[in-house]
Amino acid sequence: MFRSRTMSIPINKEQLAPLKFFVELCKKNPQLLHAPDFAFVREFIEFFGGKIPNEKKNGPEENDDEPSKFREEPEEEMEDESGDSDVEFDMTGVIEPDKDSPQKMGNLSLQPTEEEIAEAQLKRSEAVSAFSEKDYEKALALYTEAIILNPHAALLYAKRGQVFLQLNKPNACIRDCNRAIELNPDSAAAHKFRGRAHQLLGDWEEAATDLRLACQFDFDEQADEWLREVAPNARKIEEHKRKKERRALEKKEKSHQEAVRKGRKAAKAREANSRPSQTDDGAGKPGMGDFYQYLNDPEVSAAFQDPEVSAAFVDISSNPANILKYQGNPKVMALINKVASKFGGATGFGGMAGQMPSADASPKPSAPKSDDDVGLD
């Protein structure tokens, strides 16, 4: 049975000191955990559900708050892109869209003869008579024959579109009016009937645009009446879009201000970390808190990537006297001299771990030692 109170720790307190130092080192500089030699530490952390911070490749220091900000934005975008669901429209007269196959169109690559143009005019006259008698299917067939004879006559497409309106086929009307406007962009009839078709489909903005153009090209009382019908709904959409744009601008400005605030905060933090510590153990020597700020130094961080150097540093931190063992190791001594210079040269490691001897001033031995004895203390 497992009993935590009686469980013995398989390592002694002296061994815990370097382990604690290593943990503190990683807390100050998590990027050390991405070193290949520390893979077993990453596996240990992840085994218990921990998470290793992402490795930073290059570029300026990132703010940890930024990812969460970007994760929240899509939700706001979805809310903004909810369309016009929060706008109430007058849906009077709106019908279900027609889903018939596209109607026959004239072949624009063909140039009609004078006889074909004349015959197309005759078919058009017959179609007008059929339309006035409300025989819309006959009128539709006659306009189609006229279009095949003279495919370049924009008015034929617009008039056939009018017939489709009477048959409650607004999509077919829009296809015909699109062709008519392609042939004659100033066709008042094509814009009028296409605007009405959009009105029947509930496309208020498109309807208002087409009906306004129809009245500009050739004022028509019916087109003006339809325009007055769609104008209230079109204005609601325009106002909704203005509000949406205003919210987007406010959001952008807020995001900018937040970025400026975080930038200033980060700048203050960097300035505070780079400022020499004024609080110490009374002797004017830097303490452990001051030491950790130097871990951000690129040369120091790079040196700690070397397992041999890192292990030696942990060993020295547990017992400053152990520095004597590494006087023959140029890599370790280079790091010690580097950190010592950061701490103010002559102060050495005194503030880092007790009263460690200076890297440049090792204690004089009581008796001379041979070359074989150096580094074997």
Q: How far, in Å, CA of 248 to CA of 275, rounded?
A: 40
Instruction: Write out pLDDT tens, residues 360-372.
Output: 444 444 444 444 4
Percent of the chain with pLDDT over 90: 38
> What value does the mean pLDDT of the chain take?
77
Instruction: Write out pLDDT tens, residues 261-315.
Output: 888 888 888 888 776 554 444 444 444 444 555 566 777 777 777 788 778 877 7
Instruction: Write out pLDDT tens, residues 188-221.
Output: 999 999 999 999 999 999 999 999 999 999 999 9
Q: What is the pLDDT of residue 14?
A: 64
Q: What angle do CA 299, 300, 305 make, to 5 degrees?
A: 95
How many beta carbons lie within 10 A of that of residue 332, not counting itself?
Answer: 24
Using alpha carbons, list the distances in angstroms from residue 370 to 61, 329, 357: 50, 17, 22
Do residues 265 and 330 touch, judged by C-beta distance below 8 A?
A: no
Is pLDDT of 83 > 60? no
Q: What is the pLDDT of residue 216?
A: 96
Q: What is the pLDDT of residue 293?
A: 56
**173 vs 51: which has the higher pLDDT:** 173
Q: What is the pLDDT of residue 187?
A: 96
Q: What is the pLDDT of residue 276?
A: 58
Do residues 73 and 145 touch, judged by C-beta distance below 8 A?
A: no
User: How is residue 120 annotated by DSSP?
Assistant: H
Output b/e per residue, 239-261; b: 16+ Cβ within 10 A: eeeeeeeeeeeeeeeeeeeeeee
Question: Per the structure block, which two tokens stand in for 280?
Answer: 């110490």
Q: What is the pLDDT of residue 103?
A: 95
Q: What is the pLDDT of residue 95?
A: 93
Question: Per the structure block, which two tokens stand in for 369?
Answer: 């030692």
Which of 16-30, 270-284, 313-327, 347-361 is predicted with the least confidence, judged by mean pLDDT?
Answer: 347-361
H or E segment to which residue 81 belongs:
none
